[in-house]
Structure 1
Amino acid sequence: MSQSSHASSAWYRPMLARHAGEDHRTASALELFFDLCFVAAVAQASSAFEHEIVAGRTLHGLLGYALVFFAIWWAWMNFTWFASAYDTDDVPYRLLTLVQITGALFMAAGTTQALEHGDFTVITWGYVVMRLAMVSQWLRAACTDRKRRRSALRYAVGILVLQIGWLVRLLLPHDGGTVSFVVLAIGELAVPVWAERAIGTTWHPQHIAERYGLFTLIVLGESVMAAGLAVRAALDTHKELGSVLVIALGGMLTVFALWWLYFAQDAPRRLRTQSTAMLWGYGHYVVFAAAAAVGAGLAVNVAHVTHQHALTDVQAAATYTLPVALFITCVWLLHRRAAQPSGKANVLPPVAALAVLATTFTAMYAVLFTGVIASLLIGTHVVAARREAVER
């Protein structure tokens, strides 16, 4: 029985490292609730990104989206890896997680203001609340897990110093906002590298793979919602209903294929060492951001065919094809060594990504053709896997 399952009613338990080979280690109900609260932040980021594109501020929107999504992803990622190693599920742990959830909701509330107007005040305070709760968690681990105390203290000190930096950043002139954000973001990325050098924490490969898979479902779900809202809008206004339905069909084909592609990978095999796991975990920033951007691109293309903005056909198509191609390429790069596919199968994803990019120039049919190409990619993978199984 897992530690979490029999500790759910405990007032307090020593925060000791969980065994990395623990049987039946799955996401807890609290972790699922935590993810649910991040749905709001992802949805707000995707919606604000779409608004910026439709308003003709594509580059501004892209920069804001990259910065905002980093804050969302990094806050989620840090909790996920910590919970994999130190989930005690006692009362203090739950209360501190509740504080982090509150911070996540503040982040969601400030996402639109940050992305559209460059005002990071609310999202920064929400982020800092989440991260200070993580400092408390790491200090708890340092007090009870003597073996990994150096790592826990490095995490606590590193995170605390950076939170001071994030608050100081709010006082800087607007012109220095992006540069200071990048510097602090690099610092955030460096903390786990520094802390894990002391002694590695005991994260669980299967648990981490499941948690990342669940967040992938969240961001892909935003695209499903975008398709549903697009169809509803077309039905309400009776504008270009046929074209909208074609886009919705292409969107659903794409999302289903992206889901299939992601979950066809054997992620735990990739998480064998600290260095490969860290590269895999960091690389998911692109996977998650691209998946959420697919929904925004889908909404942009619906708005385009219903004449709600002045983007060109190619510009509208690119808002969809670029994130899809990026998702396919990044998943391929993160898993190609662990999967050990045959030579022909290994070249399929990059070829499919290039084909998706080529559909950008098919104008209003780009979304449908992208869905078809993504579906063909999955079909060829299935056939290749079947042939390999027969040959064995």
Structure 2
Amino acid sequence: MNSFFHFTARNPKVTHRAATPLELMFDLASVIAIAAAAHGLAHAIEEAHTLQGIIGFLCSFFMIWWAWMNYTWFASAYDDNSSAFRILTMVIMFGSLMLAAGIDAVFDHERIWLALLGFVVMRLGMAVFWLGASRGDPDRRTTALRYAGGIAAMQIYWIALVVIVPPTTAFYLPLFILGAIGELSVPALAEHRGVTTWHRHHLIERYGLLNIIVLGETFIAITAMIQIEGGSAFPDADLFWLAALSAVIAFSLWGLYFTDEEHLASDELRHAMVWGYGHFALFAAGAATGAGMLVMLQSLDPAAHVDPQTGVLATVIPVAIYLLTLWAIRDRFCLSGAAQWILPAVAVLVFLMALLAPLALELIALVLMATVLIRRGLTRSTMKDTT
């Protein structure tokens, strides 16, 4: 390890820093796990186990997102394209695939042996990364060692939780939440001793790419809606219309995320952590929107016994959370005046429409599409006024 695992800090001011093919491969491993979590949520809602499904989804999505986020920030600061970096990355990717294979146990209320093993492999791989950074970046040696020690300690906690506490007991969820808080605390405590050299524009791109991946869960549902079955020449008209409305919703979420304003406008650590951590809710909501669309599809099958209203709410509630989160992590920092409050207002409006309005899905798709156009126009005029 002394000669092989040795990662030096990258220059955070390098221009045109883009995602590497290795990082894109890492995202591909993550999307498998995200898809497994989203499908588990959809199945739980269809079986009228909504609360259990939401808890299982959030717990499994936390493990996926947290491992992805830690790797992404480390790579932004220390990716040297060395053989050691590539090998460790592939080990972590294999852990992600094990996590994906074990997610079903989360929704079945069984001990999550395989998911735990995958998560521990991913996290211990990160601990080795930070030990290498402690050797290659003497100025931040204390920071790197705190990361490595904190990550290793939390893996002991997770192993003890799964081994000792059955998932059906009342203490399991509070202890899981406590572990999540512990994991979230590691970067805050470590970076307090010296901020690592992450690259702001690189991270903005990396987060945008993962957002595209989670929104891709909606494409799985849309494709299922327009599949031709029973020897028909064309898709069912009702399903085709549902697919069209779902596509408008998905494209609108994409359009509201990728706007003219720059994400993470400040390098200040507190702002960066709000932005970085806040994306958990946004990413989870994007994946859950795809799960909700699958529930809407099932609601059109009489044999499934799924209430159509359940399918609409399963889609629209994540959409509202997506919009509110996007406001919390970006718009309230970069916009002013009426434009700043567009997303919260639309989030409330689409939720009320889902509860009360006839033709709710049609109206929601129309409102979201209009929101993309109106917000883009307002923000562009604001930018012109300030130049």
Report the TM-score when normalising by structure 1: 0.92
1:81 to 73, 80, 83: 73
1:270 to 2:265 alignment: yes
For 1:90 and 1:250, the matched residues in 2 are separated by 46
The offset of 1:348, in angstroms, is: 1.5
Do 2:298 and 2:306's aligned partners in 1 also have CA atoms closer than 8 Å?
A: no
Contact 2:228 2:236 in 1 (8 A): no
Instruction: Identify which of 89, 94, 99 aligns with 2:91.
Output: 99
The structure 2 residue matched to 1:180, chosen from 144, 154, 175, is 175
Q: Structure 2, unaligned stretches of length 5 or more?
A: none
Deviates more, 1:17-26 or 1:193-202: 17-26
Identity %: 35
Aligned-partner SS, 1:117:
coil
The residue number in structure 1 matching 2:114 is: 122
Tell me, yes or no, if the aligned pair for 1:64 and 1:118 is still in contact at 8 Å.
no
After superposition, residues 286-297 of structure 1 pair within 5 angstroms as 286-297=281-292
CA distance in 2, matches of 1:140, 1:80: 16
2:271 matches 1:279: no
Letter in 2 for 1:302: L
Q: What is the CA-CA distance between 1:386 and the residue it aligns to? A: 4.4
Matches within 5 A, 1:142-221: 142-174=134-166, 175=169, 176-221=171-216
1:17 aligned partner: 9
CA distance in structure 1 between the partners assigned to 2:264 and 2:277 by the alignment: 17
Deviations 1:235-285 (A, max 9, x none): 778999222222111111011111011111634543421110011100000
The answer for the alignment partner of 1:228 in structure 2 is 223
Aligned counterparts, 1:41-80, within 5 A: 41-80=33-72
Q: Match for residue 136 of structure 1?
A: 128
Query: Equivalents in 2 of 1:374, 1:311: separation in Å?
Result: 25
Deviation at 1:338, TM superposition (A): 3.2
How far apart are residue 307 of structure 1 and its match? 2.1
Partner of 1:378: 372
Task: Please name the residue that 2:346 is paired with.
Answer: 352
Are the counterparts in 2 of residues 139 and 153 from structure 1 also a CA contact under 8 Å? yes
Amino acid at match of 2:237: G
Q: 257-266 vs 290-299, which deviates more?
A: 257-266
Contact 1:313/1:363 (8 A) holds in 2: no
CA contact (8 A) 1:240 1:306 kept: no
Instruction: Write the distance in 2 (CA, Å) between the matches of 1:70 and 1:301.
Output: 25
Partner of 1:3: none
Do 1:251 and 1:368's aligned partners in 2 also have CA atoms closer than 8 Å? no
Aligned CA-pair RMSD:
2.1
- Partners of 2:264 and 2:275 within 8 A in 1: no
TM-score (norm 2): 0.93
Q: What amino acid does structure 2 have at the position aligned with 1:260?
A: G
Q: Which amino acid aligns with 1:116?
A: D
Assess if the C-alpha contact under 8 Å between 2:332 and 2:340 holds in 1.
Answer: no
Q: Distance in 2 between matches of 1:236 and 1:244?
A: 16
Q: Is 2:332 aligned against 1:340? A: no
8 Å Cα contact 1:151/1:195 also seen in 2: yes
Q: Could you tell which deviates more after superposition, 364-373 or 73-82? A: 364-373
Q: CA offset at residue 300 of structure 1?
A: 0.4
Look up the SS of the partner of 2:7 in the other structure: coil
- Bigger mean CA deviation after superposition, 24-33 or 235-244: 235-244
Moved more, 220-229 or 282-291: 220-229
Q: Which moved more, 1:102-111 or 1:115-124?
A: 115-124
User: Per the alignment, in what secondary structure is the counterpart of residue 286 of structure 1?
Assistant: helix
CA distance in 2, matches of 1:334, 1:297: 24
Aligned to 1:5: none
Question: How many angstroms apart in 2 are the aligned matches of 1:357 and 1:53?
Answer: 18
Q: SS at 1:264's partner residue?
A: coil
Q: Which aligned pairs between 1:323-334 and structure 2 lie closer than 5 A?
A: 323-334=318-329
CA separation of 1:386 and 1:80: change in aligned 2, threshold 3 A: closer
Does the CA-based 8 Å contact 1:109-1:122 persist in structure 2? yes
Query: 1:108 Cα deviation (Å)?
Result: 0.6
Are 1:314 and 1:363, in contact at CA under 8 Å, matched by a contact in 2? no
